[in-house]
Amino acid sequence: MTRLRPLLRHWIAPLLGVVLLYAAYQAAAAWALGVSLRPEAIPADLGLHLVLAVLLLSMARNRWTFLVLMAVLMALLHIGNAIKLAVLGGPIMPDDALALRSLLLLLSGWWFALAALFLAVMGGALVLAFDLRPWRARIAAGALAGLVLALFLAPRPIVAGMDREFGNVVWNQRGNYLSRGPLVHLIQETARYATRTDTAPGKAAVAAAAETLEPTLHLATSRGDVDPRADDVGVPVKRNVHVILMETFWDPSVLKNAGFDRDPFDKEFRALWRQSGNSRALVPVFGGYTANSEFEALCGFPVNQDWVVFEGRLRNQAPCLPRTLHEAGYTTLASHPNAAAFWNRVNAYDRIGFNLFWSGKDFDQDDLNGHYLSDASLYRQVLRKIDPLLETGTPTLDYIVTFFGHLDYPLNDQRPVVVHAPGADPVVQRYANTVYYKTHELMAFLKQLRKRDPEAVVVIFGDHLPFLGGNFDAYAQSGVLAESRDRFDDSMFRTQYATPLLVIDGRNGPVKLGAVPLYRVPSVVLSLLQRPEPSVMDMTHMPPGVVIRPLPGLNLVLSPGGSVTACRQASDPRRQCRTAQDWLRSVSTVGADLFWGKQHVLRDDMLPAAASYRQSADLTI
């Protein structure tokens, strides 16, 4: 018994503590966030936790520093994943490391204090926990380093083996996490990340992709999809362009179970949007990651991976809409009253061609909802800043990203509750009032803007749908979405990624566009400006008869008549799925070459040279 006491004290008790922490964190995730691992995931995942625990305990100064370290690391694995799953619908992925700075910048108040405290405790625990002088500590450290090294030196067999054992469904990362557990998921996806290479596509591959994409452009020209208002396509019209990204903007009136006592949208906005046929943008993200919607709307190429393009995949000076218009004589301006470094915008905006970026420090914080500058104040200050350009008639691209609309949808005293939702969670009522004020303040701005700049092209769209409770709670209660993506029918994927889109063609008013993937918006703008020369962004013109919304691991295909097909596998044999996959392969090759590769498509003049590819819009559904 005497011999068992040191074993019990040094090994068994701390490892039992790890088991108890595992159970406690999983219970907390299930109770507070509705995230519960599948029972079959627990044995392997808990086993890996214990293997890691043995190695760390072998290096630990004592069992107490070890338990603190494990508590912090496991909180990140279990609670961090559960929070991201509840809010954004997916678990933590390796690419999130690039976005960590931006995610921290988004926090404020006690949330920021809590995050800072957590990071400080984790850093302190890592520094104080280890003593590598004992021989067993050095052996454990070597073993741990060897395992990590193997993960990066031989990731492909690791990925293949873990995929066979634990499965992998790219479009359903929530399901992946729940069937794996946090540590298995982290190892499996880190190995997959290590298999990715940043080898830029070669000249031959880019040329083949460009050649594959060319027929759809010629077909668009031959069938007459040019702008019918372009009486003289040889003379571009230098009208101003105003693009407004509305933060977390969506139409909540479809939530019938909420019991709204009035339309959440301002009635004048509702009427104006109705004139557009209630057109919708098919966006690449849900619940967050605004920068990916920005990239598509400005650069004309789709995002279909779980990464933030601005953070790591936009390395070149790129011919996006701002640069294209700048080279045509426009002044190009971006406005967003947040920290300039958020989502790496200060660098990304420069690379895509903005002359000037007004960020948070350039705006008076005179009307805040929580810590978000109101749309009314933002619009007023932007209009004051661009007024000299409007006065002189300088052609201008004016791009505005609103800030008001983030969780948890705060309102100040000047914005009382006007929309009541007695049948809904409070977050739904707060969001409904948020969109009321967003649409109301937008209409006040549009009246001034259209009076000052009546010929301008104005583009307004939402970047993504809102978080309205964990596991799509408010959506599921009204039957808009299911509780998890693996229960979605095909049309629910369209709903999850469709936000209001309003394009105003000067005095001609709203344009009826139907459902337009956000990456096609730059070509729509250039069409309305009657610019006849082809742009590299026109290379994403879709094949005839389909609208394609690429998503991570899934292609959403809309066909005439309103049918929706969710192609959940790259090998899906259905005709429309093969068409979408072949098209996406070529588009992805050109996009990789253009944004982070050697830009063969530009340097080697691979842009198809047809006389006119400009169309007013793609096929819309």
DSSP string, 556-575: EEE-TTS-EEEE-STT--SH
Q: Which two tokens stand for residue 200?
A: 């830029």
Half-sphere exposure of 400 (CA within 13 A, CB side): 31
Amino acid 64: pLDDT: 84
Amino acid 289: pLDDT: 86
Q: Are 457 and 524 in contact (CB under 8 A)?
A: no
C-beta contacts of 268-271 below 8 A and 24+ residues apart:
268/443, 269/439, 269/440, 269/442, 269/443, 270/439
Amino acid 108: pLDDT: 56
Q: What is the DSSP pairing of strand 280-282 with strand 498-505?
A: antiparallel
Amino acid 300: pLDDT: 95
Q: Is 504 helix (H, G, I), strand (E, B) or coil?
A: strand
Amino acid 110: pLDDT: 56
Residue numbers of the chain with a pLDDT score lower than 50: 218-235, 609-621
Reduced 3-state DSSP string for 82-138: HHHHHHHCCCCCHHHHCCHHHHHHHCCHHHHHHHHHHHHHHHHHHHHCECCCCHHHH
Q: What are phi and psi of 302, to 5 degrees?
A: -80, 150
Burial 84-95 (b: 16+ CB within 10 A, else e): bbbbbbbbbbbb
What domains are defined for the chain?
4-195 (no CATH), 203-603 (3.40.720.10)
Amino acid 617: pLDDT: 42
Amino acid 69: pLDDT: 87
Rounded to the nearest 10 degrees, what angle do helices 63-75 and 109-128 cross at? Answer: 140
Amino acid 8: pLDDT: 58
Amino acid 458: pLDDT: 97
* E strand or H helix that includes residue 501: strand 498-505
CA-CA distance, 306 to 320, in Å (whole number)?
21
Amino acid 101: pLDDT: 64
* Per-residue model confidence as pLDDT tens digits over 301-347: 999 988 888 888 899 999 999 999 999 999 999 999 998 888 889 99
Statement: the pTM of the whole predicted model exceeds 0.85: no
Those residues with Cβ within 8 angstroms of residue 420's Cβ, 6 or more apart along the chain or in another chain:
260, 261, 262, 429
CA distances in angstroms from 177 to 115, 195, 599, 606, listed in the order given = 23, 20, 37, 42
Q: What is the DSSP pairing of strand 372-373 with strand 241-246?
A: unpaired
**What's at 323, amino acid-wise?**
R
